[in-house]
Amino acid sequence: MDSDILNPAEWFKAQETDADARAKDYVRESDDACSTDVCTWFIEDAVTEGWPRINDARLATVKSDQYRARSTRSLPVDGLKTIGSTFLHEVTHTSQGGKLDDVSVSGRLAESIPSCYEWECVLKLGAEPSIRAEFNADSISMLAIALKVWTMHHYVDEKGVIHEIPQV
């Protein structure tokens, strides 16, 4: 169930006469901000790392050969994720944030798109016509990171590598 408000009295009443009554048919959208849960280890990491931001120093770090050699499970752009991008991802799940999902992939696509998170999977979701990638929460978060990188005169390629935009 999402963050909408369930009317349990009406739902229970409906179940008395209709065994197939669905809870989602007895909800209304909240007028108030919805809550989200963030794992404490995200916050602990942010504190330990001094509340990292996407700045010139961090950009230089994820662009370095040393970082890329150490980072075997993720791409350089994924190293730019911050607590802010995590909060953005989470707020997109709320009513006010668009009620986006962590899109799940099944069947034959699950082998090539193992999750809905991080750059590589977000791009694969976007390339698959049967998937509405714009409703995937991490698509928005990764877009925000890419746009921040763009404001710093860099771009992210399809392999998640960050390049400086040549100044003309």
Per-residue pLDDT reduced to its tens digit, 13-22: 888 888 888 8
Residue 6: pLDDT above 80?
Answer: no
CB 118 within 8 A of CB 138: yes
48 and 60 share a domain?
Answer: yes
Residue 31: pLDDT above 80?
Answer: no
Virtual torsion, Cα 103, 108, 110, 112, nearest 10 deg: -110
74 and 120 share a domain?
Answer: yes
Give 64's pLDDT tier (boundaries 50, 70, 90).
very high
Residue type (1 letter), 125: L
71 and 10 share a domain?
Answer: no
Q: Cα 69 to chain center, whole Å?
A: 25
76 and 129 share a domain?
Answer: yes
27 and 94 share a domain?
Answer: no
70 and 86 share a domain?
Answer: yes
Which pTM was predicted? Answer: 0.79
Q: For residue 102, what are the CA distances in angstroms to 71, 76, 126, 139, 165?
A: 24, 22, 13, 9, 32
Q: Supply 56's token pair.
A: 């010139």
What does DSSP assign to residue 139? Answer: H
Residue 3: pLDDT above 60?
Answer: no
Range(s) of the domain holding residue 8 = 1-32
- The structural domain count of the chain equals 2
63 and 130 share a domain?
Answer: yes
CB 26 within 8 A of CB 14: yes
121 and 53 share a domain?
Answer: yes
121 and 65 share a domain?
Answer: yes
